[in-house]
Amino acid sequence: MEIRAHMVSAGKAEGEAVVYNGPFAFLGDLSPVTGRICMPRHRLEGQSLVNKVFVFTTGKGSSGCDFAAWATKKNGNAPAAIICLESEPVLSGAVIATEIPAVDRPEKDVFELIKTGDHVRVDATSGIIEIKGKKGAVIQNDFMIYSTAFLKTRMPSPYCGIISLP
């Protein structure tokens, strides 16, 4: 099955899909050291995105996102490709700078059609998403806002490579 989409960052990649119906940021959600989701209590906490096709709703936007994406890519721990409903400027800059193939605005409901574990090919340059094999299920959004006081008392996730709290 093919799905048309809008190119955000050129390139081609394929791999196993990780589907998350929620927002994502390279800074804070993904450890550049391990390539795993490291946000405490995130529904994907501990899930590796290394060489995966990551499907999510949108970026969260963060001034350090470009650097975090670069560090993740430099360490060999980046997703193979990104599919999102709508890329925001910070996410777009990060994937373009790190040359991670990415598309947004898919013409069909990717959360209905792509499940975690499916084999997906992304030709971002042509704006084509191709579902090659079916397997799993979508992980629903559990996005939470943590207070600074809570974060200061929370032990860092074992999946994070770096956490800096004042």
Catalytic residues: 62
Q: Is 103 left (phi over 0), alpha (psi -120 to 50) or beta?
A: beta
Give kind and range of the element (H or E) at residue 111.
helix 110-113
Give kind and range of the element (H or E) at residue 81.
strand 81-86
Q: Which residues neighbour 158 within 8 Å (Cβ) at sequence distance 6 or greater?
A: none
Distance, in Å, from the CA atom of 166 to the CA atom of 48, rounded to the nearest integer, reads: 27
Strand, coil or helix: what is 165? Answer: coil
